Structures are given as C-alpha cells and as structure tokens.
C-alpha cells in the first residue's frame, strides 16, 4: 500500500512554526504571473517593514525568504 501524503491548507504564515515542512506557490522572481512551487523546512518566521514572511530551506540547501502577501496555497505537511 502506497503512503498517502497529507497536507493542511493554511490562511496565514501565523500558523507556521520553525522546523515544520511547508509547500506553497510563489511568483517566479517575486513579481511575475508564473507560479513556482517551493517545498522545504521553515528556518525562520518573522515580520519586517514589508509585512510577515517565512524563510524556507529547500532541497539542496537553497534558502528562500517568501513574503506572506505573495504566497498562494500555503500548505503544511501533516
């Protein structure tokens, strides 16, 4: 029997904690109308002058900061 991966849809980065694994869609280069999927472990959650953000470390060690206002379909792995 194949393992089924479960996700929990979230409305805000407020419900994400450091160490959790998330998946989301984010505009390419931060401003285009083409979405790229980002999956990884949350390294930091914070708030800055541009609003709330999360920092995600993906496969291969790539670290990305994602602005909450641009994130689409934020999902937490359950």
**Model pTM above 0.85:** no
- For the chain, list residues with pLDDT below 70: 1-5, 7
Over residues 15-28, the pLDDT tens digits come to 889 999 999 999 99
Domain that holds residue 22: 7-77
CATH, residue 57: 2.30.30.520
Q: Does some domain include residue 2?
A: no
Q: Does some domain include residue 1?
A: no
| Cα distance between residue 2 and residue 28, in whole Å | 32
Number of domains in the chain: 1
Task: Encode burial over 2-28: b for 16+ CB neighbours within 10 A, e otherwise.
Answer: eeeeeeeebeebeebeeeeebbbebbe
């Amino acid at each position: 029997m194949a393992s089924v991966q479960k996700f929990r849809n979230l409305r805000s980065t407020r419900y994400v904690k450091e160490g959790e694994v998330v998946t989301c869609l984010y505009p390419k280069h931060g401003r285009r109308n083409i979405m790229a999927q980002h999956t990884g472990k949350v390294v930091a959650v914070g708030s800055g002058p541009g609003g709330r953000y999360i920092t995600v470390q993906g496969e291969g060690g790539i670290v990305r900061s994602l602005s909450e206002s641009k994130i689409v379909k934020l999902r937490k792995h359950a």
